[in-house]
Amino acid sequence: MNQIKNTLLRFQSIIALVALCIVLTLLSDKFLTPENGWNIMRQISINVCISVGMTLVILTRGIDLSVGSILAFSGAVTAGLLKYGVELPAFNVFMEFTVFGAILGGLLVGGCLGTFNGWMITRFKVPPFVATLAMLTIARGATMLWTGGFPITGLGTTFAFIGTGWFLGIPMPVWIMAVLVGLAMFVTHKMVFGRYIYAVGGNESAARLSGIDIKKIKVWVYALAGILAAVGGIMLTSRLDSAQPNAGMSYELDSIAAVVIGGTSLSGGRGSIMGTVQGALIIGVLNSGLVLLNVSPFWQQIIKGFVILIAVILDRLNHPNED
Amino acid sequence: MNKVFKYGLMTILVALALYNAVRIKPLNEVKKKQDTQLFDAKAYAADFMANKIESLPALQVDSFLEHLGNNPTAYAQEHGKKLGISDAYHFIIEGKGSVSAIEEEYIVLGLGDGSSVAIATDFIFGNAIRDGSGMAHIDDHQNTMDFNSISVELNNQVRETIVPLLRDKATMGSTLYFKGAVTIAIDQPNPSEIKIIPLRIQIINEP
């Protein structure tokens, strides 16, 4: 009996996802179609990228509220570099960025902002909630400054391929998502760094006494979260062929929801990348299903809120002794 | 030796990445090229107002009002223009009418058949002229700012050239010819609330 219960608990996200798909297939004949399947995969790809970073952060018992703003700023920087380049009037120099260069610039910005988050948290002991909340407004303000409040559009077909192209019959965003998820799974399961992340979140004092450089691990984790948010920003900008100054608003909540629904403990030390992917899929399928069923967007928000609550309650019931 | 190889390889990779990432050009040459490609919305709007209005196809106002009252959706889909997924349709209309009221923000023209229309003399905003005329396409512009600035400049032209003329010449009872742009939200078309943005005004008869 206990074995059955444990198996059910282990696969609760997959069971929920399958049940949701069955119900939506019965309710809408447009749900179970290849087109809708690819649509859902494309839609969740950005959330999965951010959520992979968020999972790493939450595994260390932290939180990152700034991913939505970092996404927007990185996307805007990429678009700005690609479209306008950089002028250095003092040297009579104009730096024209290739697609590759602009993407590197966006990733660098995401990494730097994430590193700054980690530095604030480890060096000055600022609680992650506060440090990343501050970064949320800083990065949003920086996005507004960089774009002047206007979208940056017309980024070219090469750049658009990242967000809208297909390769071997699969959309590019899905390829990018799959590669990142594979890398993150490899890091968390097979690399020492991954074990350190779990150790830091499971018991920070024990990890410190074991000789793990906790500060270094945390700074790296926040830097990675920033880089992954930047990847999401570049994908979104490419998909829309436009960097919107208000892009990524409330994406942090969607990514936290995916992580929580996927079974990662907010207390740290327990969770998995695959669980997060399942969480993002549940949110994506739910979004798609509710739209197909013509449910009002206001109700959609309420339903999603309850799904998150139920996921957390189930998690607490399964792990009653966790702090 | 191992470290030398590692750092050497890293340096080569970074150099290769930077080489493929950025191209350095003289700023003055780039600026010169940009200046010749700069979009001048003001000139574009002025040219449109001076040279394109006359030949702009327009719907007759009485027919427009009649169809709007009967089957607005079908009429709008056939004769109106819209941008993207918006449910607002834009039209260019023309007609004659006599001034029956002069308000602060508009002038009312009686059309003779009992119906009337209002010509806006204030609150000249929106994209009715640009989108109704079909003169500009978003794909022809490098960015949305350029595209939006066309509407801004067209509205400025109307405010600066057409509205003063209308305010000056239109007196109660005078008969006017007008050509103008109008926007209709097709899910709630309300002819009594339509304000036509004037593009061409001609006094036919003075009382």
Summarize pLDDT for A113-141 with one digit per residue, the tens: 999 999 999 999 999 999 999 999 999 99
Helices and strands in chain B: count of H runs, count of E runs: 8, 7
| Segments of chain B assigned E as strands | 22-26, 59-60, 88-102, 106-110, 116-120, 175-185, 195-205
Of A87, A97, A153, nearest to B144 by CB-CB distance is A153
**Tokens (6 digits) for A51:** 């959520």
A85-111 average pLDDT score:
92
Which CATH number fits the domain B39-205, given the four candidates 2.40.50.100, 1.10.3720.10, 3.30.420.10, 2.40.50.420? Answer: 2.40.50.420
Q: How far apart are CA B126 and CA B158, in angstroms?
A: 12
Q: Which residues of chain B have pLDDT under 50?
A: none
A154 touches chain B (CB under 8 A): yes
Q: Do B27 and A153 touch (CB under 8 A)?
A: no
Of B20, B27, B145, nearest to A87 by CB-CB distance is B27
A71: closest CA of chain B, how far (Å) = 21
Query: Considering only A212-216, A223-227, B15-19, B196-200, which range has the smallest mean pLDDT?
Result: B15-19
DSSP assigned state of B81: B
Which residue pairs, CB below 8 angstroms and at least 24 apart, start in B184-188? B184/B68, B184/B72, B184/B76, B184/B80, B184/B88, B184/B89, B184/B90, B184/B91, B185/B87, B185/B88, B186/B72, B186/B73, B186/B76, B186/B80, B186/B87, B186/B88, B186/B89, B187/B87
* Strand partners for B93: B59, B180
**Tokens (6 digits) for B57:** 């196809």
Angle at A18 between CA A12 and CA A19, to 5 degrees: 85
B31: closest CA of chain A, how far (Å) = 9
Which is nearest to A247 in space by CA: A236, A256, A255?
Answer: A236
Which residues are CB-contacts of B135 (< 8 A; sequence separation ≥ 6)? Answer: B48, B52, B150
Q: Average pLDDT of chain A?
A: 90
Summarize pLDDT for A172-210 with one digit per residue, the tens: 999 999 999 999 999 999 999 999 999 998 888 999 999
Summarize pLDDT for A140-164 with one digit per residue, the tens: 999 999 998 888 888 888 899 998 8
Rounded to the nearest 5°, which phi and psi values hold at B83?
-110, 125
B77: closest CA of chain A, how far (Å) = 25
Give the residue from B137, B143, B145, B148 with the most A CB atoms within 10 Å of its CB, the best one to mutate: B143
DSSP assigned state of B160: I
Q: A149 to chain B: nearest residue by CA? A: B145
CB contact at 8 A, B197 and B178: no
Q: B144 to chain A: nearest residue by CA? A: A153
Q: What is the ipTM of this complex?
A: 0.72
Any idea how long chain A is?
323
* Per-residue model confidence (pLDDT) at position B86: 75
Give the residue from B20, B25, B27, B147 with the most A CB atoms within 10 Å of its CB, the best one to mutate: B27
Q: How far apart are CA B69 and CA B65, in angstroms?
A: 6
* Per-residue model confidence (pLDDT) at position B46: 92
Whether A7 shows a pLDDT value over 90: the answer reads no
In Å, what is the CA distance from A254 to each residue of A39, A187, A283, A301, B149? 17, 23, 8, 11, 36
Q: What are the extents of the domains in chain A?
A: 13-318
Q: How far apart are CA A224 and CA A206, in angstroms?
A: 24
A96: closest CA of chain B, how far (Å) = 5
Of A83, A85, A98, nearest to B20 by CB-CB distance is A98
* Per-residue model confidence (pLDDT) at position B205: 80
Residue B97 belongs to what H/E stretch? strand B88-102
A314: closest CA of chain B, how far (Å) = 42
Which is nearest to A155 in space by CA: A240, A43, A73?
Answer: A240
Of B23, B26, B145, nearest to A92 by CB-CB distance is B26
Residue of higher predicted confidence among B14 and A233? A233
CB contact at 8 A, A163 and A239: yes
Q: Do B22 and A88 touch (CB under 8 A)?
A: no
Q: What's A13-318's CATH class?
A: mainly alpha
Q: B31 to chain A: nearest residue by CA? A: A94
CB contact at 8 A, B129 and B154: yes
Q: What is the pTM of this model?
A: 0.73
Q: Do A150 and B145 touch (CB under 8 A)?
A: yes
Which is nearest to B191 in space by CA: B126, B133, B115, B128?
Answer: B115
* Per-residue model confidence (pLDDT) at position B1: 62
Which residues of chain B lie closer than 8 angstroms to A150, CB-CB?
Answer: 143-145
Q: Do B21 and A150 touch (CB under 8 A)?
A: no
* Strand partners for B197: B181
Q: Do B22 and A97 touch (CB under 8 A)?
A: yes
* Per-residue model confidence (pLDDT) at position A116: 96
Q: Do B22 and A154 touch (CB under 8 A)?
A: no
CB contact at 8 A, A232 and A48: no
**Tokens (6 digits) for A3:** 């074995």
* Per-residue model confidence (pLDDT) at position A323: 56
Determine the distance from the C-alpha atom of residue A107 to the mean position of all C-alpha atoms in its chain, rounded to a whole number: 14
Q: A81 to chain B: nearest residue by CA? A: B22
